[in-house]
Amino acid sequence: MITLAEQQAKVTNWPGYIGWAVGLLILIALVYWLMRQGWNWRRTLQSDLPPLPAVPEDPGPAIRQAAGRYHGSTTAGNWLDRVVAHGLGTRSLAELTLTERGLLVRRPGDADLWIPAEQLTGARTDSGIAGKVVPAGLLVVTWSLQGTALDSGFRADHPDEHAAWIEAVEALVTRTKTKKTEEAAS
């Protein structure tokens, strides 16, 4: 006859459980390390990307303002090709301010992003950008960094504002192009 103590001994295999737990922790650490190596490799590949424009002390009076989240930047037209150089791949909270001089993205805890009006090329809504898919849509601003076309994704706290943002950015792009054409003609 089997005693109660013998039955409990068969059920409790602590060395086996501890071994599996340690193995699982090692596997998780390895996957994290490989992901980090991939991020660093991508940063190295994108090291030829020119530096970001400096944030001006006075960006000018605000045309539009919104609070929300910055979801990252990709090469224009390729929503899966995340750009990580210069901190463009880091998601963060954001405060967007559109002025006549450009778009200012204040990111607490990360470097602010300044996109001069001359570098803006358009805006649209899209359903996703590099690891973030939102059925209600993201505000995607397209801009050029010294010849490299980029898309930057934002999600306003009030997504119903995206249409007004698109209209405002498109109007600024048109005014900037008109101004450049007039200056070239003079």
DSSP for 140-158, written as a single string:
EEEEEETTEEEEEEEEESS
Predicted confidence at residue 101, as pLDDT, reads 93
| 50 domain-assigned | no
Average pLDDT over residues 26-49: 86
Q: Note whether 13 and 72 are same-domain residues.
A: no
Q: Note whether 20 and 86 are same-domain residues.
A: no
CA-wise closest residue to 153 among 140, 142, 143: 140
Q: What is the pLDDT of residues 93-148, one digit of tens each?
A: 999 999 999 999 999 988 899 999 999 999 998 887 877 787 778 899 999 988 88
Using CA atoms, how far apart are residues 166 and 122, in angstroms rounded to an integer?
8
Q: Note whether 13 and 93 are same-domain residues.
A: no
Predicted confidence at residue 171, as pLDDT, reads 93
Using CA atoms, how far apart are residues 111 and 161, in angstroms rounded to an integer?
25
| 137 domain-assigned | yes
| 128 domain-assigned | yes
| 55 domain-assigned | no
The CA-to-CA distance between both ends of the chain, in Å, stands at: 106
Q: Note whether 170 and 93 are same-domain residues.
A: yes
| 51 domain-assigned | no
Q: HSE of 134 in the Cβ direction (CA atoms, 13 Å)?
A: 18
Q: Note whether 107 and 166 are same-domain residues.
A: yes
Radius of gyration of the chain from its Cα atoms, rounded to whole angstroms? 24
Q: What is the pLDDT of residues 51-102, one digit of tens each?
A: 888 899 888 899 999 999 998 888 888 877 888 888 888 889 999 999 999 9
Residue 6 banded pLDDT, cuts 50, 70, 90: low
Q: Note whether 99 and 16 are same-domain residues.
A: no
Predicted confidence at residue 163, as pLDDT, reads 92
| 56 domain-assigned | no
Predicted confidence at residue 21, as pLDDT, reads 93
The parent domain of residue 102 ranges over 62-185
Single-letter amino acid code for the residue at 96: L
| 178 domain-assigned | yes
| 145 domain-assigned | yes
Using CA atoms, how far apart are residues 81 and 33, in angstroms rounded to an integer?
21
The DSSP H or E segment spanning 65 is: strand 62-75
Task: Give the residue with greater pLDDT, 173 vs 47.
Answer: 173
Query: What domain count does the chain have?
Result: 2
Using CA atoms, how far apart are residues 135 and 164, in angstroms rounded to an integer?
19
Average pLDDT over residues 33-51: 82
Predicted confidence at residue 82, as pLDDT, reads 84
Q: Note whether 15 and 79 are same-domain residues.
A: no
Q: Note whether 180 and 125 are same-domain residues.
A: yes
Instruction: Compute the mean pLDDT over every residue in the chain, rounded to the nearest whole number.
Output: 86
pLDDT of 4 over the 80 cut: no
CATH number at residue 130: 2.30.29.30
Q: Note whether 170 and 126 are same-domain residues.
A: yes
Using CA atoms, how far apart are residues 72 and 151, in angstroms rounded to an integer?
8
User: Residue 94 in 3-state DSSP?
Assistant: strand
